Every structure is written in C-alpha cells, then in structure tokens.
A and B are shown apart, each in its own frame.
Chain A
C-alpha cells in the first residue's frame, strides 16, 4: 500500500501508477455529479454542446452536499459520498469523453466502469460513507455551481480542495476491482459460515 498526494489536473501517467489498496489524497478541483448531472452531461455531448466546466484531469464526486449561503458565498457544510452503483449506467461514457481521472464515491462500481477505467486511465477512490465533516473540512472554497436548476443535491458543485481523502483506490486502471474481489471472497466464505452455523448448503 502506497500513499499518493496528487494535484489536479492529473495526468494519465500519474493515474497508471496507482494500484488497488493505495491511499490517495487530492488537492485541486473536484466536481460533484449525481444521476441527473451525468445524464445531462451526456445529453450535451450528443448535442455537441460544451460542458460548463472542462473536466479533463479532474475528479468527479458522487455527492449531494448540504450547502449554505453565507452572504453571496456558498459554503459546503457536509459533503459525504452517495452510492456509486447508480452512476454505473453513465460512467464509462463519462470517463471516455470528458477524460475524468478520478471517480469518488462509496459502495464501488461494476465491470463496465472497471473496463472503461482500464482503457482510458482512471481510478475509483472510495471515500468513507458518512464521513461528511471530514470531507467538508477538506473543501477550502466553493468555486462555483452549475445546473442549479436540478436542485442543490443534483447540481454540479465545483469545489477547491486540499488533501481531500483518504480515498482508497478500489478500482485501478489495470482492471483490478477491490469490491469485486471482496464479493468473490464472500462467496467462498459463505460455505464456512454455513458449516459453522450447522446449516445445509
């Protein structure tokens, strides 16, 4: 296990160095996107419209933050991750077309995303579910917000972060997926558990 501190924009070369179980901290720009923002971004792409922010080399964060407005300035109060599997539907196209290098969320993602990460050079960083204050304290500035018409949880929040993490690299750019490994391991353990509980398999 190695610990990496990366600054955005992150290059493909830097991403290829990361392996599952490594710990990553990000400094620079991360952008939130949940279901609706993913869907709209891909619609824009189809229509040939540019996104309001260039995502190349940045991190996309599956998060619907609690935000407050202090005067004219937005502040992130609590910003933990949401379940990433819902974005499996869009993430391969997202990575391919917008050249996002890090996807941050909780709960992991499936094979389609894993394949795209290997092909185009991106990783999935698992952030601890519920650790909302840890996340909020690493957000030094809310640089902007786009697509606020989708509602505050679904909008694109542009955060300037410092040492955002720890993110456990759970999917690397070499086809490894820690969540799928754990699932396989659980399947193998089931037999031992049934035996211990005296249950027929």
Chain B
C-alpha cells in the first residue's frame, strides 16, 4: 500500500473529524435539545447545535481545542509496506495542523515546549490490530483535553463485583461535573489490567451511539448506567438538566482473580471521529463522512 495514499486518507479523516460531527452524535444532540426541560440546559444545547452548523458552513474546526490525534488501525495481514504507515500518519498530522489549521497540542512534559505541529514522542498515538484480509481500516479520534482530564482508572474490590463498577462509574460522572463539557459520551471497561481497562474504555468512545454492546447482559448494564447518569441532574455544560450523557459504552476483558480493574473515559459533546477503509487497489472508502472530503 502506497504511503501517499495512506497520508492523504489520514489527512482527509482528520479534516472530516474536526469539522463535521458524526451523524449519530448530531442526531443525539438534537434529540437532547428537543427533550430538555431545563432552561439553562436548553440554551446550552441550542448554542451547541448552532455552533455545529456554523463549523460546517465555514469549514472551521468545531472547537478551538482540536485535541490529541489518536489513530486506530485494523490492518489486513496481507497488506504490504505496513512499516511505512506510521510515517504517513505523522506527515498527515503535520499537514493537517498547518492547512486546516489545528491548534498545536503536543507538549514535551519535561521541557514544556510545544512542538508546534501536533507530533512528538508517541504522538500521534497509533493503536494497531492485525486482522485477516488485504484492506487497511483507519479511524481517527481527535480527543479534547477537558474531557481527558476527568478520565479515571480504579482498582476495585473483586468481592463487590459489578456493583462496585456501577458505583465507580456514577461517582466518576458526579466528580467530573461540568468539566468534560457535557453531555458527554462515557466509555467504561472492566477487567484486564489497569492499562487494558483504560485502553478498552477509550476505544469504546468510538462506538456509534445507536449500537449497544452485542452481549445482551452488557447492553443491559449500559442502559442502566445511561439512565442513572442522566438522573444526576448535572445537565448540559453542568448548568442543570436531563441530559448529562449521550451514551454509556461498556467493554470488558477477563480479570486476574485478585484484581478488578475499572476505567471510565469521557468524550465531550464534540465527540470527533472519522473512519475509512483503504482497499488493495488503492481506492479509499470513507465510512463515517461519505461525500465530505
């Protein structure tokens, strides 16, 4: 697979993600606006919907925090030149920063110096998965800082089981309050280890809002947590109201008998993501933003 094709596809995905919210998120925000009864909450949701429209009209990023760039790749085992993909994604990030433009959000934690182009050690971060086939599926998440600041990992007591998880999720949402720019999407994971849980929780933010977990028991837990979160009354931007979360997505991995790792990841209402599939012949199929290149 040619690096140039991957670079162009990644550039287009970043551009699609920062300007256009995915349809499921937009629809969910519209529904929240229609159903909101709190005056302050309704005012906030109206401003959010107006802002989404303006961003599309002026082809400008939805939010001034254009986030940290994270890629998720499902690479077919038959795809050639996989070692060139990382360089292509770094180039795409640099170009996107300059041409869209994006806010430079990559800072060396030791010297506090901003690289100026959204790249640096491990950034953009790339999550790899090898799957059968000859296509490369590329997803970008541009992840805002405000919602990142309230993500939590907890090592719960195994004896408490799922009840411990429910409590941890609700307390995390209450603690986060207005900070992650609600209504948020909440990713939850249990099991694995501290790192695995957070990785799964964050990846769960990519799942469309109208797709419950295929496991019916987990889907039931998602619904239960979603309803509980919206009983808090935190509301849009923390000003009070019915809509605190747009969805709760739960994932899990098997755990060590002595451990019950749990993670809660937040995405702000500007839940930006875009995906494409690159075929062996070099054609690019845009999956989330058809016709918006």
Contact = CB atoms under 8 A, between A and B. Distances in A.
Interface of A: 1, 21, 23, 64-66, 68, 77-80, 83, 106-108, 126-134, 136-137, 166, 168, 170, 178-179, 181-183, 185-186, 189-190, 192-194, 196-199
Given A65-B64, A108-B178, A198-B163, A134 B233 contact: no
A199 B43 contact: no
Interface in B31-53: 39-40, 43-44, 46-48, 50-51
B275 to A, nearest CB: 22
Interface stretch (B82-90, B134-142, B236-244): B236-244
B39 A78 contact: no
Contacts of A108: 178, 238
A179 to B, nearest CB: 6
A185 B233 contact: yes
Contacts of A131: 47-48, 50-51, 63
B234 A182 contact: yes
Given A21-B39, A106-B181, 14 more contacts: A68-B101, A78-B60, A83-B179, A108-B178, A126-B237, A129-B237, A130-B270, A131-B47, A133-B55, A193-B232, A194-B167, A194-B170, A197-B224, A198-B163
7 interchain residue pairs of minimum CB distance: A78-B64, A131-B51, A129-B181, A128-B47, A132-B64, A130-B63, A134-B51
Contact of B61 (A126, A132, A190): A132
A96 to B, nearest CB: 26
25 contacts: A21-B39, A21-B40, A66-B103, A77-B64, A80-B64, A128-B44, A128-B47, A128-B48, A128-B237, A129-B146, A130-B51, A130-B65, A133-B55, A133-B58, A133-B62, A134-B47, A166-B47, A168-B43, A178-B240, A185-B240, A189-B231, A197-B166, A197-B170, A197-B224, A199-B163
A133 B54 contact: yes
Contacts of A193: 170, 228, 231-232
Contact of A170 (B144, B224, B239, B268): B239
Given A80-B64, A128-B44, A133-B62, A186 B166 contact: no
Given A126-B237, A182-B234, A189-B231, A23 B51 contact: no
B64 A134 contact: no
Contact of B238 (A136, A179, A196, A197): A179
B97 to A, nearest CB: 12
B260 interface: no
Of A80, A127, A178, A186, most buried by chain B (CB within 10 Å of CB) is A186
